[in-house]
Chains A and B, each alone.
Chain A
Amino acid sequence: MTTEHMNEEHTAAAGADDVVLEVSGLSVTFPSDDGPLPAVREVSYELRRGEALGIVGESGSGKSVTSMAIMGLLPRNAKVEGSAKLLGQEIIGLSDKRISEVRGQKIAMIFQDPLTSLNPVYTIGYQIAEAVLAHRKVSKKAAMDRALELLEIVGIPSPEQRLRQYPHELSGGMRQRVVIAIAMANDPDVIIADEPTTALDVTVQAQVLEALQKARQETGAALVLITHDLGVVAGQVDRVGVMYAGRIVEMGAVEEVFYRPRMPYALGLLGSLPRLDGDRGDRLTPILGTPPSLRDLPEGCGFAPRCPMARDLCHQEEPRLALLETGDRQDAVEDGGSVEGTGPAHTAACHFSEELVGATAADLFRATSVDTEGVGSVAEVEAAESSVAGARGEYLDELGEEPGRAGSGTAEPKVLLTATDLVKNFPIRSKGLLRRRIGDVQAVSGISLDLRERETLALVGESGCGKSTTARLLLNLIKLTSGEVSYLGRPLHDLTDRRMRPLRKDLQLVFQDPFASLDPRMTVADIIAEPMRIHGSAHRDARKRVSELLELVGLNPEHGSRYPHEFSGGQRQRIGVARALSLNPRVLVLDEPVSALDVSIQAGVINLLEDLQDELGLSYLFVSHDLSVVKHIADRVAVMYLGKMVETATTDQLFSSPAHPYTQALISAIPLPDPVKERTRERITVTGDIPSPADPPSGCRFRTRCPKFANELSDAERAKCVEEPPELMDRGAGHRDACHYSKVIELI
């Protein structure tokens, strides 16, 4: 890439006809045994040179299928109609020979999962050079040189060495950067990135987004960024399109759509999002119901069945994506939005978008924890809510009979679960003849924590930090290497399975994956009743109890005879909660309970968990990687890194004044779903990947990635970080961090 080339790009950008990709009336239908599935319906958009367009939507909204159709990567049986013009050339329906000249050369793509997008049997260098050689008649040597250059651009350390390595030798973040290098190999005009950071940890996500921006600068390519993460969109794109049930339902400048959404779905999506810049007390407003099945789309507006303002017209006629009268432009300027003169057109597909001027999510959507399937009409929701309240009342009455349970504690809340110096090592065996133990994966190294009554303690950290292992140790599901766990003063860690069983009633678990955690061959009623059966407390009124529990978690109690596959992800997670509650536990360990759910559904489950805690007096140990959710639900937070606790504080303390550099980096890496804030906020970035827990760095485990260590400290100060592992030190008011040089800063 030369400067000359860059200038050329810029001149082109200034030209009048600067549309690089024009999609019009694009529809994709998949044949199936039950009739055609319209995955994408009449999608149209234009992409200008150098522009970044975001496409957001929940799973199944057709956002990925659209881009695959443009790339011609859909399976043979997919029926693609409409047009996509790349630099004026129609690219839908091209022959293999013609489309392969376009792909990689003019339009490139980045896929979601970096772990599977590189071929495991070829070296990194080979795979990048292959992309160069596909379009340029250069020697293999020259292609390898280009590959090296590309690896440097995307910021991969020691690139010469990496060229000769295989994909499995690189971390996920590195591999995604290799994929970005492949995408930019031939200076394409358009790069489509399909959820490029979804599979990555937040700190790595920040690095990959940076590499993506670098790639755009270098190539001048326009970007289509497909994602479900509204925060990522807010920070990365100029314009955004919202997709629902295969259609674009709203499109406009990112500030317009985020600050002044004019389609109820977009509004609801923003309202259901737990925000890092929101308050803990704020109630989320879920969108009730589930996205329609593509097999039988509703007549009229696809969102009407879930829309609180749907009227007869909405059920009869599908609204067009219409240009809006932007009467609220003035406000935009006042809000600091970047509207100058005539910004990009703001369009929305809603019959009543006029009514949404100035509306907030809370005006429209109800902050409820129940789950209704049909129209989210107020009457129905209220009916469901009151019956839930009834069920909870009964439930509480029953609980009240148990001794020592009803009193909600007046003074200092009682400590239920205590862990002291928890250590868990997993042995690594040699591959030699004797398979001796040659080392340990130090998954958890000295974690201490207390869980108090009626409290939510969140355990946060990136993948591999040991948070799930800690949760399992607390439940005595795996044996600890050393340390102690006690419940109400009784040590748990040396109990046999048989002696542990009665205590398991009090300590229950909700899993991450609602699809894998329910036995598909059992009815929901059997699933919920199973813990009672195991503990011999399934009386003849077990059935009544099951329907109570279903009602308690906001589901229809008549659905107990159904099987798990008949429920959506959010409903299944509610079933998982009901099962955990069936034994009247006092502690629930929630291992990433909402991370597999779409945001509009997630909000309802979060509300449910909050309600249950308030009403049943539960204590939660909430394991999560998502700081926004944690900020919303937790009372206290413990941040983990490589098996160590680096900071622990109340939620307010932690988010308003984070002290440990890792916490600061973590908070700073979470994208805010607010375009202006997201682009102007201060960033603390960490470099590199998480080291292997089999061989953690000496001294402070974070020092290899620590921005403070790298940029601020003197050599003498660094020596302490290298030699001496920092202890958790109290900074007053229970705010503790493990850093020799911690300093509180404000980030949000």
Chain B
Amino acid sequence: MLVYTMRRVLGAIPVLILASVLTFVMIDVSGDPLADVRMAQPPPSEEVLQQAEARLYLDRSMPERYWLWMTGIGGNGDIGLLQGEFGPSTQGPQYDIGTAIAERLWTTLRLVGAAMVFALGLAIVTGVISALRQYSKLDYTLTFIGFLALALPTFWFAGIMQAAGVKFNQLVGDQVFATIGDGRFRAQGEPLWDQFLNAFAHMALPTIVLMLISFASWSRYQRTSMLEVMNSDYVRLARAKGLRNHTVIRRHALRTALIPLTTVVAIGVAGVIDGAILTEVVFQWRGLGDFFITAVDNNDSFALMGWLLLSGVMVILANLVADLLYAVLDPRIRYE
């Protein structure tokens, strides 16, 4: 298992390098980080521009800059991934990309994590129910809900949910759902119950929005996988042994039907991160999604690179975890 993990981690390095080269080139050709400065009225002096270019290393060629971004050799000490520096930002010399990412990572992970946990739990439950009651009214209803959820665009649904939350608050006459902000610093130092209420108020709506699409596709997948297992010979043999129906379903059907879901969930991580950007923007969370949008707005290429690298690492890690989990769940898979 250790050797396998090592091989996978080593194998991830060229993938990440190649991905970073591609994104670096694409970001580089897609816009001038100093476009806003150049367009400013009154126009800045040549000297100011040169200073800004030098600070952002725009006076060097693209390959040089990539090398610099990666290693930091020959830079001013504020760049070089291998030295733990993400590079200078267009958002001012005080703005440190690393610190900003670290600050926002928790906010986003909290949202992504909660959405995935709820999506997975709900997907398994509805998928299993659908499979066990195949072609029943319940199955058709759940199927309908699933496809509806798949068809709802996140940005639109987020807006609707936000409006609904506001309406609900008005009706109840109390702030049940907080529809703006992540509320991270709101309840610090308060009693635990208040902290929980605060977290719930802020997280409930965005989590629902973000989990919906993943839930829909995963529950469909779980239904299919469960149906397949229910028709398998070993489930029939388990019944033929004289096991009760609920034991057969829990011990023989569900246990094996969950295995392939790990892969699907791991692949789904990228999609959830995508969704998190939109959700965070609509609900005005200061998370990584907001960080990404701000970086795009400011042509902040090094910030973008940092974000892309981080999400790349997250996706690769999720897949590695899924593969290792596979080995734990399925005795046929062994990594030596």
Contacts and interface: CB of A to CB of B under 8 A. Distances in A.
Interface in B217-254: 231-234, 236-245, 252
- Per DSSP, are chain B's interface residues mostly helix, strand or loop, or mixed? helix
Interface stretch (B2-10, B39-47, B100-108, B282-290): B2-10
A96 B234 contact: no
Interface string B43-74: 00000000000000000000000000000000
A108 B238 CA distance: 11
Contact of B331 (A101, A103, A168): A168
A186 B241 CA distance: 9
Nearest to B230: A75
A639 interface: no
B234 A116 contact: yes
Contact of A119 (B10, B231, B239, B252): B252
A368 B255 CA distance: 53
Given A101-B242, A119-B252, A432-B3, A113 B335 contact: no
A130 B332 CA distance: 21
Contacts of A97: 244
Given A96-B245, A111-B233, A168-B332, A119 B256 contact: yes
A185 B237 CA distance: 13
A488 B252 CA distance: 58
B240 A433 contact: no
Interface residues of B, number: 30
B330 interface: yes
Interface in B272-309: none
A433 B329 contact: no
Interface in B308-336: 329-332, 335-336
Contacts of B238: 119, 130
Contacts of B332: 120, 166, 168
Contact of A116 (B6, B233, B241, B252): B233
B336 A103 contact: no
A433 B233 contact: no
B37 to A, nearest CB: 49
A182 interface: yes
Contacts, number: 89
A131 interface: yes
Given A121-B330, A166-B331, A168-B332, A433 B10 contact: yes
Contacts of B255: 121
A687 interface: no
A179 interface: yes
Given A121-B256, A431-B336, A130 B243 contact: yes
Interface string A86-109: 000000000011001111110011
B239 A117 contact: no
B244 A120 contact: no
Contacts of B243: 100, 104, 130, 134
Contacts of B244: 96-97, 100
Contacts of A119: 234, 238, 252, 256
A166 B331 CA distance: 7
Contacts of A118: 234, 237
B197 to A, nearest CB: 42
A111 B256 contact: no
Given A111-B233, A431-B4, A433-B6, A120 B240 contact: no
* Interface majority SS (helix, strand, loop, mixed), chain A: loop
A112 B234 CA distance: 11
Given A119-B256, A121-B255, A121-B329, A73 B241 contact: no
A121 B135 CA distance: 29
Contacts of B331: 120-121, 166, 168
Residue of B236, B240, B259, B332 contacting most chain A CB atoms (<10 Å): B240
Given A120-B330, A121-B331, A433-B6, A103 B240 contact: yes
Contacts of A102: 242
Contacts of B241: 103-104, 108, 130-131, 134, 182, 185
Contacts of B329: 121
A104 B233 contact: no
Interface string A171-188: 000000001001101100
A255 B135 CA distance: 48
Interface in A11-28: none
Given A120-B330, A166-B331, A113 B233 contact: yes
Closest 5 CB pairs of A and B: A104-B242, A117-B233, A116-B233, A131-B241, A119-B234
8 contacts: A104-B242, A117-B234, A120-B330, A120-B331, A131-B242, A166-B332, A183-B240, A432-B336
Interface of B: 3-4, 6-7, 10, 135, 231-234, 236-245, 252, 255-256, 259, 329-332, 335-336
Interface of A: 71, 73, 75, 77, 96-97, 100-105, 108-109, 111-113, 116-121, 130-131, 134-135, 166, 168, 179, 182-183, 185-186, 431-433
